[in-house]
A and B are shown apart, each in its own frame.
Chain A
Amino acid sequence: MTGGSASRRRLGRSVGGRAVLIALASTVVFFGAIGWVVVHSPGWPVVQRSFFDAERFWDALPDSIARFRLNVQLFLIAEVLSLVFGLVLAVLRSLPGPVFFPIRALAVVYVDFFRALPGILVIFILAFGIPGLRLQGVTNDRFFWGIVALTLLYSAYVSEVYRAGIESVHPSQEAAARSLGLSRVQALRFVIVPQAVRRVIPPLLNDFIGLQKDTVLVSFVGVVEVFRTASIKSSAYFNFTPYLATALIFIVVTIPLARFTDWLVARDRRNQLRGGVR
């Protein structure tokens, strides 16, 4: 490397260093100001006692973590199921020709329907309504119906993401596949869907951050997961600090997933610029 580029790098670093200092200072001032306003507000002592009680926090944390296991299960099972079901919906919706109109229409209605409904209503209807029918051989398990509800809801979102991916694959790819004698289904399976899925992994992960958080909705039908645990403890001691423990657990789990998504997006962009696809 020449001296010119080395000195340019050095210059870049010192400019970068100053930028970091400025960013640090402005952050300290900004959050310092907010903190000062909060701490000097008239109601602060009461809020501090009911939200930031160290003893209550350490009391709630182990139980909350233990109960978070249920949220993880809800999340993982619903995620895998909605990945599969969402893809099926997206493929059904992209079937061409007049013969498949009823199937396409059904897929459209499904997606519109479940995207329109607030998640909590779907959970209520399934977890209370279906056991209420007292059908033979149908489980009353709220956890089970919670998973079903989350899967139905998120399949609708996920199928839209897949569909965008499928539509983003250039028609010339299908033309090339069909010209080789592949059927429409083979073209989808081997050529279009693999490219589509690769492109939509970042937005899919985005949806799953949402799903992760929405697992707390299942607490409202009586599944004692992390949020329910916090609310039980909170009512027992008339103190909101257990919710803080729950919030912290979600933050610790979700932020790495969000950063991972950003990293994937950045990597995809780099690969595209470099012309690589793998």
Chain B
Amino acid sequence: MTGAGAALRIEGVHKSFAKLEVLRGVDLEVAEHEVVCLIGASGSGKSTLLRCINLLEPIEAGRIVVEGLEITAPDADIDAIRRRIGIVFQAFNLFPHMSVLDNITLAPIRVLKRPRAQAEADATALLARFGLADKRDDYPDRLSGGQQQRVAIIRALAMEPDLLLLDEVTSALDPELVAEVLEIIRELAGQGMTMVIATHEMSFAREIADRVCFLDDGVILEQGPPERIFGAPEQPRTRQFLARIVAAGRL
């Protein structure tokens, strides 16, 4: 890969929390329209890596370039670059004091300076597209977890991001609600949305990913097309991890 057309380029990223080094030199390049799944045990650094990409967590070393803009540059307009990166969190993080509509339109109105009427029309269209039109005026706490997570995805999409980061978005959901959220992600992948997805849903990763990265102890130990990573992993650590997943009946 040359990196010229890369949606995201990560070079040598290091991140520590106090004395614990969570990322120990991560390199990753994501092409336009590519779907990359990050897998690995809890604590391997998947979530931290996603949170570092838009600098929700400051990093100690390395470079992160999004759509040709280096967010880690000292003079970077971080807010401007963040607009191009959508992130969806495990715990939804909807704004509880706002209706679904206001959750979605807040950033388009305040950040992109869209007229309210237009932002609301766009949000309503997105809600309708993902089957949530009737929840427009509800408050988040009145929705199921699956519905809340779908609203959170729509909130990120309303900013029309070039890159979408999904941080274990189904991990906080009851099993019967997982499918409705995965369905949306599948649809986005079909439309060519560039995505980096941290997930524990191995069969979903196998189905949707163009590339799977196995994170272990703060580095990307192995990466490749899903058939190879899940079918014939080279690294013993990857094999070990997948064996545990299979034993737990999750693949």
Contacts and interface: CB of A to CB of B under 8 A. Distances in A.
Nearest to B54: A179
A271 to B, nearest CB: 9
Contacts of A180: 82-83, 106-107, 111, 155-156, 159
Question: Considering residues A176, A178, A276, which has the most beta carbons from chain B within 10 angstroms of its beta carbon?
Answer: A176
Contact of A276 (B94, B107, B112, B139): B139
Contact of B95 (A173, A186, A275): A173
Chain A binding site: helix, strand, loop or mixed by DSSP?
Answer: helix
Contacts, number: 70
Contact of A179 (B87, B91, B95, B142): B87
Contact of B111 (A173, A182, A275, A277): A182
Interface residues of B, number: 29
Interface string A169-183: 000110111111111
Interface string B62-95: 0000000000000000011011011101010111
A181 B97 CA distance: 19
Interface string A139-165: 000000000000000000000000000
B18 interface: no
Interface string B29-55: 000000000000000000000010010
A178 B86 CA distance: 11
Interface in A221-278: 275-278
A186 B51 CA distance: 20
Given A277-B141, A278-B139, A181 B79 contact: yes
A178 B56 contact: yes
Contacts of B96: 195, 277
A194 interface: yes
A192 to B, nearest CB: 10
Nearest to A272: B141
Given A198-B97, A277-B141, 13 more contacts: A175-B56, A180-B159, A181-B82, A182-B106, A182-B107, A186-B111, A194-B97, A195-B96, A275-B142, A276-B139, A276-B141, A277-B140, A278-B97
29 contacts: A172-B89, A172-B91, A173-B95, A175-B56, A175-B89, A175-B93, A176-B94, A176-B95, A178-B82, A180-B83, A180-B106, A180-B155, A180-B159, A181-B79, A181-B80, A181-B83, A181-B111, A182-B79, A182-B107, A182-B111, A183-B79, A186-B110, A186-B111, A195-B96, A195-B97, A275-B142, A277-B96, A277-B97, A278-B139
